[in-house]
């Protein structure tokens, strides 16, 4: 089918909730994707932080072939080995987790965590302890519960009224958090490094202060590591850089190597209150996707791999700093590992759109932040190519 025909079909039959660029992606390898006319793009967005091991990764393809030989689906009514093994690997990957609940996406993981917080508070005998707190710049998903804790007004307003007892404080401002978190709060959800909101890392004092506030008011601290987790920041979990443990952590994006899977990791305190029937999912944590996820986690949770993310991340950071110093269109750069936000002086979508013409896929995070999330397997020479393509883009826009 010709690209124009695919685009026409899309326009006719798909709900127009996305603005897509005028080409059709057809295949990929490593950090590169190709369109149906064989144009080549360096994928510096990883399908929004998903393709951490790149496209057509040999180990993922082999894991898929192996998993396809087994059961694809059983529902959660039955035991399966890949699910149990993945849960063990996740719990052993960090200090905070004792048990796991699997989901199909990051949104669902957050939705579940919010429900768990309410259930946990009720189990303490506090019927009125229902408050949920999130922060400015947050993104936790688009379902009613997750959206209630997502800050962006344009995502929220058309769907109000949202879930009651949802409150916001200012990100990285402990005084603001202290005004909102109180004895009626059951859960506080925060991204250790905000993604959609502009690629903003939390300060160490902020996360430590939130932990203290949650302890003081007997509330659960939830880290949303859907975007910043699983090696993206150079440690397996972003919060490991902060030495603050949450009570729950939500994860998703890269875990399935491109297949949909998410999870809520909880500590014993939360685990003990969740009983049969309290939450569920038909598809989540199926044997096929868990088998593939076991392989992805095995590859990312490797010291050498994480050192690579840090080293190549430093290289990208240095190069981006140089670009900021040279370009009149750029203001500053912030981030960690291979998760970078470049603050722009013009609407970032203009740069993103021009980048397509230079064979580069980048993302935006809000109005004036260009978001760069290459596959974690990216090599130094590919980072150099990314920068060259971005530089050419900036010159064309400027």
Bridge partners of 377, per DSSP, are none
The minimum distance between CB 229 and ligand PLP, in angstroms, equals 9
224 binds ligand PLP (CB under 6 A): yes
The minimum distance between CB 142 and ligand PLP, in angstroms, equals 7
Instruction: Report 163-222 residues binding ligand PLP (CB under 6 A).
Output: 191, 195-196
The minimum distance between CB 150 and ligand PLP, in angstroms, equals 8
Cβ closest to ligand PLP, residue 86 vs residue 146: 146
Tell me how far apart the alpha carbons of residues 321 and 326 are, in angstroms, rounded to a whole number: 9
The minimum distance between CB 246 and ligand PLP, in angstroms, equals 14
- # residues near ligand PLP by CB under 6 A: 15
Question: Pick from 63, 87, 226, 320: which binds ligand PLP (CB under 6 A)?
Answer: 226
Sign of CA dihedral 329, 41, 334, 348: positive
Bridge partners of 339, per DSSP, are 336
CA distances from 232 to 34, 44, 71, 180, 372 (A): 24, 13, 31, 30, 11
Question: Pick from 55, 118, 140, 389: which binds ligand PLP (CB under 6 A)?
Answer: 140
Question: Pick from 6, 24, 48, 324: which binds ligand PLP (CB under 6 A)?
Answer: 48
**Distance of alpha carbon 74 from its chain centroid, rounded?**
27
The minimum distance between CB 296 and ligand PLP, in angstroms, equals 15
Instruction: Report 57-96 residues binding ligand PLP (CB under 6 A).
Output: none
252 binds ligand PLP (CB under 6 A): yes
Q: Which letter, b or e, does each residue of 184-204 get, where b requires 16 or more Cβ atoms within 10 Å of its Cβ?
A: ebbbbbbbbbbbbbbbbbbee
Tell me how far apart the alpha carbons of residues 97 and 266 are, in angstroms, rounded to a whole number: 5
Tell me how far apart the alpha carbons of residues 103 and 275 are, in angstroms, rounded to a whole number: 17
Residue listed under structure tokens 């750069």: 333
The minimum distance between CB 113 and ligand PLP, in angstroms, equals 11
Give the CB-nearest residue to ligand PLP: 106
User: Phi-psi bin for 38: left (phi > 0), alpha (psi -120 to 50), beta?
Assistant: left
Q: What is the dihedral of CA 350, 51, 331, 235, to 10 degrees?
A: 170
Q: Which of 166, 178, 180, 183 is nearest to 125 (CA)?
A: 183
Cβ closest to ligand PLP, residue 106 vs residue 257: 106
The piece of 93-101, 137-145, 322-330, 389-397 that touches ligand PLP (CB under 6 A) is 137-145
Cβ closest to ligand PLP, residue 49 vs residue 97: 49
The minimum distance between CB 213 and ligand PLP, in angstroms, equals 21
Question: Pick from 57, 107, 172, 291: which binds ligand PLP (CB under 6 A)?
Answer: 107
Cβ closest to ligand PLP, residue 202 vs residue 329: 202
The piece of 102-110, 126-134, 231-239, 381-389 that touches ligand PLP (CB under 6 A) is 102-110
Give DSSP secondary structure letters for 87-104: HHHHHHTSSS-SEEEEES
103 binds ligand PLP (CB under 6 A): no
257 binds ligand PLP (CB under 6 A): no
Sign of CA dihedral 194, 200, 201, 206: negative
Contacts of 21 (CB under 8 A, 6+ apart): 353, 356
Which residues form the interface with ligand PLP (CB under 6 A)?
Answer: 48, 105-107, 110, 139-141, 191, 195-196, 224, 226-227, 252
């Amino acid at each position: 089918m010709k690209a124009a025909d695919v685009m026409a079909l899309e326009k006719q039959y798909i709900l127009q909730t996305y603005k897509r660029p005028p080409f059709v992606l057809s295949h990929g390898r490593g950090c590169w994707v190709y369109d149906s006319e064989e144009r080549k793009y360096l994928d510096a967005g990883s399908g929004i932080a998903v393709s951490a091991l790149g496209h057509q990764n040999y180990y993922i393809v082999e894991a898929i072939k192996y998993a396809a030989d087994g059961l694809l689906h059983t529902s959660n009514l039955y035991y399966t080995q890949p699910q149990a093994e993945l849960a063990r690997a996740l719990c052993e990957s960090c200090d905070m987790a004792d048990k796991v609940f699997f989901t199909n996406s990051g949104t669902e993981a957050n939705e579940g965590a919010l429900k768990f917080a309410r259930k946990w508070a009720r189990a303490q005998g506090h019927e009125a302890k229902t408050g949920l707190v999130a922060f400015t710049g947050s993104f936790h998903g688009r379902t009613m519960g997750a959206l209630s804790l997502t800050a962006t007004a344009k995502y929220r307003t058309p769907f109000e009224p949202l879930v009651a007892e949802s409150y916001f404080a200012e990100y990285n401002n402990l005084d603001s958090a202290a005004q909102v978190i109180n004895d009626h709060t059951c859960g506080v959800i925060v991204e250790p490094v905000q993604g959609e909101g502009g690629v903003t890392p939390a300060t160490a004092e902020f996360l430590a202060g939130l932990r203290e506030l949650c302890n003081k008011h007997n509330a659960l601290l939830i880290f949303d590591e859907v975007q910043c987790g699983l090696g993206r920041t150079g440690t397996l979990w972003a919060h490991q850089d902060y030495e603050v443990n949450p009570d729950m952590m939500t994860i998703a994006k890269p875990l399935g190597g491109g297949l949909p899977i998410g999870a809520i990791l909880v500590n014993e305190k939360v685990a003990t209150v969740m009983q049969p029937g309290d939450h569920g999912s038909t598809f989540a944590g199926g044997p096929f996707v868990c088998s593939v996820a076991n392989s992805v986690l095995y590859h990312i949770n490797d010291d050498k791999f994480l050192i690579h993310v840090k080293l190549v991340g430093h290289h990208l950071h240095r190069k981006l700093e140089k670009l900021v110093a040279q370009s009149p269109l750029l203001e500053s750069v912030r981030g960690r590992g291979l998760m970078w936000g470049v603050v722009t002086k013009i609407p970032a979508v203009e740069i993103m759109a021009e980048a397509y013409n230079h064979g580069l896929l980048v993302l935006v995070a809000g109005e004036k932040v260009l978001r760069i999330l290459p596959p974690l397997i990216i090599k130094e020479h590919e980072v150099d190519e990314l920068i060259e393509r971005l530089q050419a883009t900036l010159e064309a826009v400027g």
